[in-house]
Amino acid sequence: MKLILASTSPRRKQLLQQLDITFEIVAPLFEECSTNLSPSEESLSFARNKALSVAAQHPSSWILASDTLVAIQGQKLGKPQNEADAIQMLQQLSGQSHTIFTAVALLNTATKLCQEHLETVKVTFRTLTDLEITNYVATGEPMDKAGAYAIQGGAQDFVTSIDGDLNAVIGLPLEPIKHWLKIISAKNDDT
């Protein structure tokens, strides 16, 4: 059975490549839209639905999907709609701690069984100036990122502390995936 990464994120592709495994990339067909779910439930739901959205076209495959959501003071921050939205998000994060929720789902399309894992990470930003925020948004980097920032990019200078897995902040926690791949490998060896 082949492994498919249901993501168009170059960051997730780079992280998964670190595991030195063969996989294909397929764009998920699932459209994200805000829900009334908690941040953890929404992230898990989105990851699961991304995997399911490509399952029919790839029978006898493992579909890996992930979703990252930022939450601060009970408010969910997805991807900014425009530059003004990105500026507002970064102003909200300035000088504060927030939580990253990154869910991963691994769907076996042959059995329809889906493994799920949720990673939460606390990230704290230093106080940002309006000029720093404006200049960062002008780079375009925040526009396709949950919470309007890339910790591995220009926003790394904004961070004062990370409590948890940096890879989960970037978008793909590798430890649960390594664990799942060991189980898959062991099952394949038994057949």
Q: What is the DSSP string of 100-129?
A: EEEEEEEEETTT--EEEEEEEEEEEEPPPP
Catalytic residue among 67, 157, 165, 189: 67
Numbers of helices and strands, H then E, in the chain = 6, 7
Q: Output the CA–CA distances (angstroms, integers) from residue 97 to 3, 24, 72, 89, 105, in the order listed.
A: 36, 36, 7, 13, 26
Give catalytic status of residue 67 as yes or no.
yes
Catalytic residue numbers, as ranges: 67
